[in-house]
Structure 1
Amino acid sequence: MTLGLINANPVVQAKKERLARTQDQHRDDDGLDTLDIYEYVRDIRDPEHPYSLEQLSVLSEDSITLDDKLNRIIITFTPTIQHCSMATIIGLCLRAKLKECLPLHYKVDIRVSPGSHADEDSVNKQLNDKERVVAALENPNLRQLVDECLCSNEI
């Protein structure tokens, strides 16, 4: 058992194989689909554990919605516990990774799954407030933590 962790023993799923693309999968005008977006973010490492968000079932392909008419992406993630203190860090990691990978014209909304976090409204507000996100990513300690979670996650 690791000391100081809110969820010291998370349920860990086996790492999945890369998903196969089906021929009828819809792509938007940029050639982007939900599978592409999922591939960008699935290997982000959890801030507290040496596992990916996918392995901890925080994120799945089904938790990503792409509205190509509005150029809008919605990512809904599920923290491992109701009082996850790292939910905002996870959201910052998702936002930072997508900023690196996506064309600038996409609007990205990141939220916790309804009912999955005790402070859901506050977390969602923080993750989708541009000024708060910019300020958080300018904080050297937070930026370092985000960068560590985005680094190579070969486990």
Structure 2
Amino acid sequence: MVMELSNANPVVHEKKERRIRLAPENTDENAAEPIDQLEIFDHIRDIKDPEHPYSLEELNVVTEESVEINDKLSHVRVTFTPTVEHCSMATVIGLCVRVKLIRSLPPRYKVDIRVAPGSHATETAVNKQLNDKERVAAALENPNLLDIVEECLAPTFD
């Protein structure tokens, strides 16, 4: 069985150079460091696309600017842009981003994953699936889908 790709020839972008964050001076050892936009982006930039051997950053699906964080309210929003408006993997991509952030962030954070407005033919349905706890839990109980997510989240060494 040959699977047809949603976007057989995606545009591949250059990865941005990783910036080093310096630890603030005179910090209280018991105080939690605030999490910032760059830290969130660093968690998701290397997620592999489910259809291509490129990262979400290389495909411009996620950017640093697509991450919003309100550390005081413990809220993170990632708005991603599929490479084509009929991308059949949009929900899987969003699920990968959600799982990566849930595994990476302290449990106090509420994670909101969205498709960029106007970037997908079924934007409302995808957003509803990605932000419904029961649907996400059910998706992660599917062993085939979980295998795809784990493969997308597996570290790469380049």
Using the size of structure 1 for normalisation, the TM-score is 0.91
State the partner residue of 1:44. Answer: 47
The alpha carbon displacement at 1:95 in A equals 0.7
The alpha carbon displacement at 1:152 in A equals 1.4
Residues 29 and 68 in structure 1, CA contact (< 8 A), matched pair in contact too: no
State the partner residue of 1:16. Answer: 16
Residues 114 and 127 in structure 2, CA contact (< 8 A), matched pair in contact too: yes
Aligned counterparts, 1:76-115, within 5 A: 76-115=79-118
Residues 12 and 58 in structure 2, CA contact (< 8 A), matched pair in contact too: yes
Q: Which has the larger radius of gyration?
A: 2
State the partner residue of 2:151. Answer: 148
Question: Cα RMSD (Å) of the superposition?
Answer: 2.0
State the partner residue of 1:118. Answer: 121
Percent identity (aligned): 60
Query: Which deviations, in whole Å up to 9, do the C-alpha atoms of 1:40-60 show, x marking residues without a partner?
Result: 110000000000000000000
Residues 34 and 71 in structure 2, CA contact (< 8 A), matched pair in contact too: no
Q: Name the aligned partner's letter for residue 155 of structure 2.
A: S
The number of residue pairs the alignment matches comes to 151
2: CA distance between counterparts of 1:76 and 1:21? 23
State the partner residue of 1:32. Answer: 35
List runs of 5+ in structure 2 lacking aligned partners: 25-30
3-state SS in 2 of match to 1:66:
strand
Using the size of structure 2 for normalisation, the TM-score is 0.89
Query: Which deviations, in whole Å up to 9, do the C-alpha atoms of 1:39-81 show, x marking residues without a partner?
Result: 0110000000000000000000100000122110000000000
